[in-house]
Chain A
Amino acid sequence: MITRELFWNLNASAITLFYVIGISAILVFVAGCLRHISKYRRGRPLLDKPDYWQGLRNLVKDLATHRTLRRRDRWAGIAHGGIFFGFLGGAIGTAIITLEYDILYPAFGLRFWNGDFYLIFSLILDLGGAAILFGVLFMMWRRAALKLMKLDYLRSYCGELDLRPSAKAWKREDWFFMIFLLAVVVSGFTEEAVRLYVDQPEWAHWSPVGWLLAQILDSMELSVETATSIRSVNWWLHGVAGLGFTAAIPWYKAKHIISSTGSLLVRDSRALSRLPMEEGDGQLGVNSIDQFNWKELLHLDACTKCGRCHEVCPARTIGSPLSPRDLILDLREHNDACQTRPDRLVSLTQGVINPETIWACRTCGACKEICPVGIEHPTLIVKMRRHLVEQGETDPMIQSVLETISNTGNSFGESARKRGHWTRELEFPIKDIRKQAADVLWFVGDYASYDPRNQKVSQTVARLLRAAKMDFGLLYEDEKTAGNDVRRIGEEGLFESLVEHNSDAMSGVKFSSILTTDPHSFNTLKNEYPQFQETAPVEHYSAVLRDLLASGRLKVVKRLGRKVTFHDPCHLGRLNGEYDAPRAVLRAIGCEIIEMPRNRDNSFCCGAGGGRIWLPDTPGKEKPSENRINEAATLDIDVFVTCCPKDLTMFEDARKTAGHEDHFEVADLAELVAEAVALDSLDLGAVPEVIERLTDAIATKVADALVDKIAESISARLEGMELATSPQALPPSEEKNPRQSVKADGVSVAWQAVPLQALKIPDYERPEKPGVRILVAIKHVGKLGEEFEISPDNLSVPDEYKDFLLNEFDDNALEQALLMAEAIDGAEVVAVTIGPEEAEVTLRKVMAKGADRGIRIWNENLEGADSMTLARILAGVSEQENPDLILTGVQSGDIANSATGTALAGILGLPHSAVIVGTEWDGSDRMTVTRELEGGLQEVFEMSAKSVLTVQVGANTPRFASMRMIKQAKKKPLIVIEEVEVPKTSTGMQVRRVYVPPQTRAQMIEGSADEVATKIGQIIRANSGA
């Protein structure tokens, strides 16, 4: 019969021994697997269940084609394929034999491992063995001879000079794995060769490699005895090697056979473009290794140290202390160490991963993109960032950017009103989509709105859209930064509030799709906003321009014929798979595209992602943008084309710093299109749409007819009116007041002091006093931007020119209250504000920072109330709350009376002091207070604790409200009180006039910076008498 004897020449006890070894090996294998499973089970559960079916389909496809392994390293992929398929064949083969020999035959007397089946089986396994042999030998040669950078474990990017011990162990492990595999295959072939040599079956050529080797033995004239004894010894060698290999799989590098397969099964191709939501278990971000979810822990074990991510990482390239490979390996090592020793669990940034490593990432996704086993490095990094942000352990610059964004809605710290100012230079108005429906909502983004260079691009895009007769509009000041990079910094709370704001802004508006020029906004609007709210389809302008050119709505009148290279923005390309649209545009306008060596999915990040645009790179080292621009400089090009506002900023700068100013220019895609369609020659401002003209005409007619009548009625009204009211313009007190007006001769009548009383606040729900209660009064103040106007009646400054935020002084007052409360057990901090609904944001912010409760008081009579009236209301609240201490800021940034706090004390008859910079209080009756006097002198004194203090800026460093705090604050009680009887004024104050101070003296020095500097130099010399 055509087959072979399985246990050749073995007696019963030898066979038993073999089974004992075999079963032990399987047990060791299973134990290893279980050990890993229990390791992963320590992780958190998954938030979203992966789509296992899709995962399986992708897995089979990826493994069958070896697509992920062949990318950018073809021969390694092929060699791995040899090993993989050879091993797969061997494993299936062994399983088949076991199936027949140990199950089907003993149970059912069934045999099939013979005849033709056996022959084909032999052939496949023989070729499989050959494939492994080739693969392993190639890999060994590659490691030994090629000295590939990606396979070098020396961390020279962060200045390491010697291999660390763990890296030496990795090296040994790599070689051990290859040698072990080689041993199994070589002993297998040896066995086959001697068997064929001794048995001489006529079907020997069905095992071509074995047959070949047998021929060699034959030519060596090996004696049959020798061959037979080799056969019996080697039989055991091969058997034990095979079983040993199996047993060892879960215990070293070979485990990737299982873990990488698992990792590929659960991989999420959108892991970075759509970051995971915050886990619902109250724990934010990842602090210790067991706070990753099981999938992430599995990813750690999947790494084969292939180094592809190490090679492409822009941070590693420029010598930042981050290599995605080493990050994963360090986490894995720590995870393994902690599995059985929970006492070794530490905060990851305390000795496992350097915080600098975590902040070095640009979330460009290059590592994740190239990883052959589906590891999602950036997600792990963002999760660790979330924890650091939560703990306030961020770089101070990042902190201040986050604060700026949370205050102004943009990273430039500019006023929201100026968001649409770039449109002013256009010859036509852009629709305000909040007032007028449009087809397309253009979400502009921060850089395109505020950065002067990018504003030019925005203007060009607007003109192009206008020329193509697209119907589009903007949200103007209702747009805030979309939050893509805020999320990637790890500030999930701020991100969520930005989503909420922008979604709200868009929800009341009529449009059918969103357009943006900014790939970062594009990414988050498209992929992440839908995690929270239904969002209209989003398009990047590159695709829109492509369609406009293809449909002829934009006509190319001049083919540019320029040689260009195109930089794929990470957020457009790798994260969203759009590589073709910008290239199609470039071809349509007649450019010749010369690709950089790293293009499309291998594009090299400009360095600005993941919040890194707000952090400086190490001076003296090459920046990612310079690295990229140097790459482009090796090509013969006229233009380096970008289609991302951040890219434009980064590369224009890099072109200068890297010294390629004369070599080529950096331009935005839209600018080239504008040239090709001769945008300049199109008259865009000209004819308003027919409808617009019609309505305009009608409106003018109506207005003309009405204007006289209106004028008449206005003047009639004015006559009957007393002094106009405004924020501070209040008519004389309506209260019963014995005082009388001062007469023109300056003599007053009936002098009488009438102490102000607290205004009654209706009772409201509040908790029992927990012990110490501190009341803090805070104000949502309006800050004037650079441009503003006084109201037409000259009595106020309209709110539209103000940016509202928490009064800076109150931020310090709150911080002081929180610090004091934290030092006293069970103390409560209550924040109160007098302000309209819009002030609630600020009150919420204060509660996020730590105030336990909030009270907001408002009705329209309070509009423009004087500070004494405000103090009377606060006194009413104090009567309800009966606090042990009241804090306010020294003054409010808008009106700056420095009165409210001290006046409140006056009304309540409480001790008080102003301009406090320090307090020491243990909750008892007395406290020690420091106030700041003129000239920087400080006075320390002691006073009764039940008092009102006004706190000075700089008294402390106000804390930052992080994600968790913002979340929790949403659950804190906020009471709104509207039933308050408010007198029109408490001081009889009347505003006579508000005006802009005359610019008295300054003579402006104009000209370039150098001209100004020269002039200043002259002034200095003149002044020093030289």
Chain B
Amino acid sequence: MSGILVVTEHRHGEVSAITNEVIGAGLSMKKKVGGPLMVLVISDCPNTYANSLSYEGVDEIILARVGSDYFDSKIYGEVVLGEAQAHQPELILLGHTVNGMAFGPALATQLGGGFASDVFEIDCLEGEIVATRAIYEGKAFVEVSFPGACVTVMMLRAATFPAPEEMAQVSLSQSSLDLSEISADTNHIKYIEPPSAGIDIAKSEFIMSIGRGIQDEEHVSRFAVLADRMGATLGCSRPIADAAWLPKAHQVGLTGKVAASCNLYIALGISGAVQHLHGMKHVDTIIAVNTDANAPIFNVATYGVNMDIFELAEALERQFN
């Protein structure tokens, strides 16, 4: 028994980008692990997603028709468990996303196998599946394996693995489980879109972001003025938005906006947590300023400045006046 089972994530009727990336990671592992690559879709209308999941190399798309299109942690947990028991994959892959966090670890307890989350590198070494993940806020990396486990659940970091490009004809199969037995725990009420604040991080080409390094709300305006003078859009890390020092629309990262069109990103006093990196690490030119020479942000930056942001701000104010 072997193979890889990928669990699809979708929202608003579309497959989430993370699922394509997870399939990409699965494909890269397929040879090493052996067995088929199966993609499971759970929805009230799973067929609608099949087309966009039909990548070259996917062996089977399993359609599980349930009562609702909305995510429900119980349904996901039970369906995946059932399919796992039916297909006995060696590796179950999902996204390290909010949905993934909501059912992946529970699924792992039901399987009793291996588990790793926020995995950003996956490989097969000496016959073992090895996952690499970050610890201590990205200051150290750790390689783990699960030699004793017959099945391992892995949640993969977003915006890390390349999505496959080639599409193909993939055979569809209906889930063999008795899905009528599985009921939802939750009742979706509504989605709330984040309020906009007259700026669009996704469209800005030049962003200057501030993080907790600015220390106090009263310093926000100073950096806002500086960004303005430099011609940059002002972004921020999550704590700044959490504290309401800037509207949520300025937040860059996983639960904020991805700086999709950006080609120059300046990070001031941002440590470089993975969720923040999610929104900006792809940018061509990144300048990071941080007093901590080991801050993980320097691992993605093009240019690093190991300096107090206030000291630098003063100099920048002189530069751009």
Are A746 and B127 in touch, CB under 8 angstroms?
yes
Tell yes or no: A1001 within 8 A of B by CB. Answer: yes
**Shortest distance from the beta carbon of A1001 to any chain B beta carbon, whole Å:** 6
**Shortest distance from the beta carbon of A627 to any chain B beta carbon, whole Å:** 24
Known: A936-B248, A1013-B319. A902 touches B105 (CB 8 A): yes
Are B114 and A987 in touch, CB under 8 angstroms?
yes
A203-229 to B contact mask, C-beta < 8 Å, 1/0: 000000000000000000000000000
Are A932 and B98 in touch, CB under 8 angstroms?
yes
Q: Which residues from chain B contact A742 at a C-beta distance below 8 Å?
A: 90, 127-129, 147, 149-150
A930-953 to B contact mask, C-beta < 8 Å, 1/0: 111111111111111001001001
Q: Which residues from chain B contact A992 at a C-beta distance below 8 Å?
A: 130, 143-145
Partner of B144, one of A900, A990, A1009, A1019: A990
Separation of A1024 and B264 alpha carbons in the complex (Å)? 9
Are B110 and A906 in touch, CB under 8 angstroms?
yes
Separation of A897 and B154 alpha carbons in the complex (Å)? 11
Separation of A988 and B287 alpha carbons in the complex (Å)? 41
Tell yes or no: B179 within 8 A of A by CB. Answer: no
Are B305 and A1001 in touch, CB under 8 angstroms?
no
Q: Which residues from chain A contact B149 at a C-beta distance below 8 Å?
A: 739, 742, 987-988
**Shortest distance from the beta carbon of B31 to any chain A beta carbon, whole Å:** 9
Q: Which residues from chain A contact B151 at a C-beta distance below 8 Å?
A: 748, 751, 753
Tell yes or no: B311 within 8 A of A by CB. Answer: yes
Q: Which residues from chain B contact A1009 at a C-beta distance below 8 Å?
A: 307, 311-312, 314-315
Known: A935-B194, A990-B147. A912 touches B73 (CB 8 A): yes
Q: Which residues from chain B contact A954 at a C-beta distance below 8 Å?
A: 238-239, 241-243
Are B302 and A1003 in touch, CB under 8 angstroms?
yes
Separation of A929 and B73 alpha carbons in the complex (Å)? 13
Q: Which of B272-321 contact A (CB under 8 A)?
A: 285, 287-288, 292-294, 296, 298-307, 311-312, 314-316, 318-320
What are 27 residue pairs bridging A and B, where the CB atoms are less than 8 Å apart in the complex? A737-B148, A747-B2, A747-B34, A753-B111, A755-B111, A782-B136, A868-B105, A868-B108, A897-B116, A897-B117, A898-B101, A903-B115, A911-B185, A912-B73, A933-B11, A934-B97, A937-B192, A954-B241, A986-B112, A994-B142, A997-B138, A1001-B299, A1001-B302, A1002-B300, A1004-B304, A1008-B315, A1019-B264
Q: Which of A744-766 contact B (CB under 8 A)?
A: 744-756
Range for the number of chain A residues in contact with chain B: 35 or more
Are B185 and A944 in touch, CB under 8 angstroms?
yes
Partner of B318, one of A790, A905, A929, A1013: A1013
Tell yes or no: B103 within 8 A of A by CB. Answer: yes
Tell yes or no: B203 within 8 A of A by CB. Answer: no
Q: Which residues from chain B contact A715 at a C-beta distance below 8 Å?
A: none
Nearest first, the 7 closest Cβ-Cβ pairs linking A and B are A906-B106, A954-B242, A988-B148, A744-B127, A936-B194, A906-B109, A1013-B315
Tell yes or no: A340 within 8 A of B by CB. Answer: no
Separation of A954 and B251 alpha carbons in the complex (Å)? 13
Partner of B109, one of A755, A894, A938, A1024: A755
Partner of A733, one of B32, B97, B115, B148: B148
Partner of B255, one of A784, A928, A935: A935
Are B90 and A797 in touch, CB under 8 angstroms?
no
**Shortest distance from the beta carbon of A787 to any chain B beta carbon, whole Å:** 7
Are B148 and A741 in touch, CB under 8 angstroms?
yes
**Shortest distance from the beta carbon of A237 to any chain B beta carbon, whole Å:** 66
Are A787 and B140 in touch, CB under 8 angstroms?
no
Separation of A447 and B110 alpha carbons in the complex (Å)? 54
Tell yes or no: A907 within 8 A of B by CB. Answer: yes
**Shortest distance from the beta carbon of B76 to any chain A beta carbon, whole Å:** 11
Partner of A746, one of B33, B135, B155: B33
Q: Which residues from chain A contact B136 at a C-beta distance below 8 Å?
A: 782-784, 797, 894
* Residue of A737, A753, A797, A991 most packed against chain B (CB within 10 A): A753
Chain B, interface SS category = mixed
Number of interface residues of B (CB under 8 A): 120
Q: Which residues from chain B contact A912 at a C-beta distance below 8 Å?
A: 73, 102-103, 106, 185
Closest to A790 in B: B140
Q: Which residues from chain A contact B296 at a C-beta distance below 8 Å?
A: 997
Are B88 and A1012 in touch, CB under 8 angstroms?
no
Tell yes or no: A995 within 8 A of B by CB. Answer: yes
Tell yes or no: B256 within 8 A of A by CB. Answer: yes
Q: Which residues from chain A contact B65 at a C-beta distance below 8 Å?
A: none
A884-911 to B contact mask, C-beta < 8 Å, 1/0: 0000001101111111111101110001
Closest to A782 in B: B136
Separation of A899 and B102 alpha carbons in the complex (Å)? 9
Q: Among B44-52, B77-85, B160-168, B170-178, which stretch is in contact with chain A?
A: B77-85
Are B288 and A1002 in touch, CB under 8 angstroms?
yes
Are B140 and A995 in touch, CB under 8 angstroms?
yes
Q: Which residues from chain A contact B206 at a C-beta distance below 8 Å?
A: 1020, 1023-1024
Q: Which of A978-993 contact B (CB under 8 A)?
A: 986-993
Q: Which residues from chain B contact A941 at a C-beta distance below 8 Å?
A: 70, 186-189
Tell yes or no: B113 within 8 A of A by CB. Answer: yes
**Shortest distance from the beta carbon of B156 to any chain A beta carbon, whole Å:** 13
Tell yes or no: A915 within 8 A of B by CB. Answer: yes
Q: Which residues from chain B contact A897 at a C-beta distance below 8 Å?
A: 105, 116-118
Known: A934-B254, A1005-B305. A1023 touches B264 (CB 8 A): yes
Known: A900-B105, A902-B104, A1019-B264. 10 other contacts (CB 8 A): A742-B127, A790-B140, A896-B118, A899-B101, A933-B99, A934-B254, A936-B255, A938-B191, A992-B130, A1004-B305
Separation of A1024 and B285 alpha carbons in the complex (Å)? 12
Known: A745-B127, A931-B98, A933-B11. A751 touches B139 (CB 8 A): no
Q: Which residues from chain B contact A1013 at a C-beta distance below 8 Å?
A: 312, 315-316, 318-319
Are A915 and B306 in touch, CB under 8 angstroms?
no
Tell yes or no: B230 within 8 A of A by CB. Answer: yes
Separation of A987 and B77 alpha carbons in the complex (Å)? 18
**Shortest distance from the beta carbon of A798 to any chain B beta carbon, whole Å:** 12
Tell yes or no: A788 within 8 A of B by CB. Answer: yes
Tell yes or no: B25 within 8 A of A by CB. Answer: no
Tell yes or no: A996 within 8 A of B by CB. Answer: yes
Tell yes or no: A618 within 8 A of B by CB. Answer: no
* Residue of A732, A751, A932, A937 most packed against chain B (CB within 10 A): A751
Are A911 and B105 in touch, CB under 8 angstroms?
no
A664-687 to B contact mask, C-beta < 8 Å, 1/0: 000000000000000000000000
Separation of A987 and B108 alpha carbons in the complex (Å)? 9
Separation of A728 and B142 alpha carbons in the complex (Å)? 9
Tell yes or no: B231 within 8 A of A by CB. Answer: yes
Tell yes or no: B10 within 8 A of A by CB. Answer: no
Q: Which of B251-265 contact A (CB under 8 A)?
A: 251, 254-258, 263-264
Tell yes or no: A725 within 8 A of B by CB. Answer: no
Known: A944-B185, A1020-B230. A786 touches B316 (CB 8 A): no
**Shortest distance from the beta carbon of B268 to any chain A beta carbon, whole Å:** 11
Are B186 and A902 in touch, CB under 8 angstroms?
no
Known: A932-B255, A1005-B304. A943 touches B187 (CB 8 A): yes
Separation of A994 and B103 alpha carbons in the complex (Å)? 27
Tell yes or no: A147 within 8 A of B by CB. Answer: no
Are A914 and B98 in touch, CB under 8 angstroms?
yes
Known: A903-B108, A993-B142, A1013-B312. A937 touches B264 (CB 8 A): no
Separation of A1018 and B140 alpha carbons in the complex (Å)? 33
Tell yes or no: A13 within 8 A of B by CB. Answer: no
Tell yes or no: A397 within 8 A of B by CB. Answer: yes
Tell yes or no: B126 within 8 A of A by CB. Answer: yes
Known: A896-B118, A899-B105, A905-B106. A995 touches B251 (CB 8 A): no
Separation of A1012 and B2 alpha carbons in the complex (Å)? 55
**Shortest distance from the beta carbon of A732 to any chain B beta carbon, whole Å:** 4
Are B150 and A752 in touch, CB under 8 angstroms?
yes
Separation of A1015 and B111 alpha carbons in the complex (Å)? 55
Are A939 and B150 in touch, CB under 8 angstroms?
no
Closest to B77 in A: A906
Closest to A995 in B: B141
Q: Which residues from chain B contact A407 at a C-beta distance below 8 Å?
A: none
